[in-house]
Structure 1
Amino acid sequence: MTVLTDASAQRGNRDAPPSMVERMTLILDAFDGRAARLTLEEVALRSGLPRSTVHRILDSLVKLNWVEHASFGYRLGRRALGVGGDGGHAELREVAAPLLHELHMQTGMVVHLSVLAGNEVVYLDKIGGRLAAAIPSRVGGRVPAQSSACGKAMLAWLDPEQVDTLVGNNLVRITERTIADLGILHLELNRIRQRRGLAFEREESARGVACVASAVRGPEGPVAAISLCGGSRNAQLERVAPLVVDATREIARTLYPELGSPRRGAQPVPVVDTDSWSPEARARLLSVQSGGWI
């Protein structure tokens, strides 16, 4: 949750845009995901608008179905979600949903679908059953891109100049293992590219959590990433890594058939056995050592 000091909130109130459209946009932008639930005070802090103004505009947005009001506060309404309240990722989520479920059923691990938003990763979906509560992530939540396997998997397919622009020199450290140096980040991204896009994370975004991720690549670069996460002590990341690669490739083939062979008919999502990759193929996939990050 974004927290503003009294001074910054007052400054935001003084600089509030005069246009009603701009004010409505600030309020809707305060909801950083389709699952976000905010109180009136939280919306006012995030938008930088006066509480009375936010309350008046929210009332109008509720009447028009852009926002819903319940006992816990406010959340995006059906109108906002229908025209992009999910960030325009409805098709991506629909295509990925059965594959995320299949990955969880095969591995028993927590599965994330995420996208890159500036220098952060935004989680679009999380599937994990009883294990999900042990991993501190949520749909609509954000983490610094360089601290997560998903984020690193997507950053690896951007030009180095783009990475510099996105993350800058102020890399946020979440744990003692988070990459907080731009030079080290570039070395890690190079290793990920040499591993054909596989990114690993051990306690970089949360203590006790390890993940492996691969990016979904479109014609203009990475569009999303999938990760498998478990406990850092017993997660068999190397064994499940090929499954993540298979899932992201399947999503890319479905979303962008022009980049490869189109799928034949509307076949159900295939079940991929964990041993469908030969030991030699798995070894090639994992051949590049990660210097302590894997």
Structure 2
Amino acid sequence: MSALSAEPGQAAPARRELPPSMVERMTLIIDAFDGRFTHLTLEDVARCTHLPRSTAHRILDQLVRLNWLEHSSLGYSLGRRALGRGDGSHGEIRAAAAPLLHNLQMRTGLVVHLAVLDGPEVFYLDKVGGRFALSVPSRVGGRAPAHATAVGKAILAWLEPERVEELVDGKIVRLTSRTIGDIATLHQELNRIRRRQGLAFERGESFPGISCVAAAIRGHEGPVAGISLVGDARTPLEKVAPLVVDAARQASLALFPGLDNPRGRSRHAARVPGGTWSPETMNRWLALGQDDDWL
């Protein structure tokens, strides 16, 4: 008897049958993603689906080309087609941020935005504000170039530089004389935002006379959205900046419980800033950009 034969009374391991059709295999791969924040590597997908690695890679490439999935340095994640183009797929973010947006508006009297990144643009999920809201040319469901908005730059700052170039390079347009006009300047600005622990400013880059301050809502594997406060050119944004950072931090923890626990974070995650900033800390961070036209 061959040494490879099964022992008497012991059944040979059953070979797992692969789905016969391409549609079934594509569905199997998409079903491996638990939600919009899930990132999987090629090895993860092959293990979850039991597909050969080469087969999984070929199908993943097709799904990325068709916008069912996205691919970044963090791995594969659900794309625009899988999530839908409306704000229905963003309900969890809106629900977590809603009380924080209302509180920000009540405390500052300014317009508050909640937005997500969609390609080279930001997509506005929510807008809360009083009478001044009519003077701010934004709307729920509207879009704006990410590089020209504080909320867009706050999100871009936590992406890998290669991912930023993939999203934005070649799509940079000037909306005003103060808009960033090239990828090199954008990288410099994003670096300054990271040095300010994620705090982004914008003064007249989208619309003359409008200024904003923003911070990103971050998850275990990167940014998922951003919150901004919007005022006119005279608004002292430095005074309200700590409130924006604190709101973004609270939204991050509401969406991702345990994010501030080092053991609960992935190696890709950036640490969520601590509590509200002290005036001394605020002044020290803002001093990094005092000679900066973009601050």
Partner residue in 1 for 2:201: 200
Amino acid of the residue matched to residue 238 of structure 2? E
Normalising by structure 1, report the TM-score. 0.65
**1:236 CA displacement:** 0.7
Structural mapping, 1:22-171, within 5 Å: 85-171=86-172
Partner residue in 1 for 2:225: 224
The percentage of aligned residue pairs carrying the same residue is 59
Aligned residue for 1:88, secondary structure, equals helix
Count of residue correspondences: 199
**1:251 CA displacement:** 0.5
Q: Supply the distance in 2 between the matched residues of 1:155 and 1:289 (Cα, whole angstroms).
A: 18
Q: Supply the distance in 2 between the matched residues of 1:192 and 1:247 (Cα, whole angstroms).
A: 17
Amino acid of the residue matched to residue 117 of structure 2? L
Partner residue in 1 for 2:80: none
Partner residue in 1 for 2:250: 250
**1:175 CA displacement:** 0.9
Aligned residue for 1:287, secondary structure, equals helix
Q: Supply the distance in 1 between the matched residues of 2:202 and 2:127 (Cα, whole angstroms).
A: 17
**1:216 CA displacement:** 0.5
Task: Give deviations 1:15-35, integer Å, cap 9, x for gaps.
Answer: xxxxxxxxxxxxxxxxxxxxx
**1:172 CA displacement:** 1.4
Aligned residue for 1:258, secondary structure, equals coil
1:287–1:257 CA distance, 2 compared to 1 (3 A):
farther
Q: Supply the distance in 2 between the matched residues of 1:91 and 1:188 (Cα, whole angstroms).
A: 30
The question of whether the paired residues in 2 share the 8 Å contact of 1:195 and 1:287 is answered with no
**1:87 CA displacement:** 4.7
**1:287 CA displacement:** 3.2
The question of whether the paired residues in 1 share the 8 Å contact of 2:101 and 2:128 is answered with yes
The question of whether the paired residues in 1 share the 8 Å contact of 2:121 and 2:144 is answered with yes
Structural mapping, 1:282-293, within 5 Å: 282-289=282-289, 291-293=292-294
**1:88 CA displacement:** 1.3
1:289–1:116 CA distance, 2 compared to 1 (3 A):
same
Q: Supply the distance in 1 between the matched residues of 2:254 and 2:215 (Cα, whole angstroms).
A: 16
Partner residue in 2 for 1:68: none
Aligned residue for 2:89, secondary structure, equals coil
C-alpha RMSD of the superposition: 1.9
Task: Give deviations 1:83-108, integer Å, cap 9, x for gaps.
Answer: 88415110110110111011011111
Partner residue in 2 for 1:176: 177
Q: Supply the distance in 1 between the matched residues of 2:152 and 2:159 (Cα, whole angstroms).
A: 11
1:258–1:283 CA distance, 2 compared to 1 (3 A):
same
Structural mapping, 1:180-191, within 5 Å: 180-191=181-192
Q: Supply the distance in 1 between the matched residues of 2:85 and 2:175 (Cα, whole angstroms).
A: 30
**1:258 CA displacement:** 2.6
Aligned residue for 1:103, secondary structure, equals helix
The question of whether the paired residues in 2 share the 8 Å contact of 1:203 and 1:210 is answered with yes
Amino acid of the residue matched to residue 183 of structure 1? A
The question of whether the paired residues in 2 share the 8 Å contact of 1:212 and 1:229 is answered with yes
**1:185 CA displacement:** 0.4
Q: Supply the distance in 1 between the matched residues of 2:165 and 2:278 (Cα, whole angstroms).
A: 37
Q: 5+ unaligned residues in a row in structure 2: which ranges?
A: 1-82, 262-275
Task: Give deviations 1:155-183, integer Å, cap 9, x for gaps.
Answer: 00000000000001331111111111110
Q: Supply the distance in 1 between the matched residues of 2:104 and 2:204 (Cα, whole angstroms).
A: 21
Q: Supply the distance in 2 between the matched residues of 1:150 and 1:84 (Cα, whole angstroms).
A: 19
Task: Give deviations 1:249-277, integer Å, cap 9, x for gaps.
Answer: 0011111113125xxxxxxxxxxxxxx64
Aligned residue for 2:287, secondary structure, equals coil
The question of whether the paired residues in 2 share the 8 Å contact of 1:115 and 1:122 is answered with yes
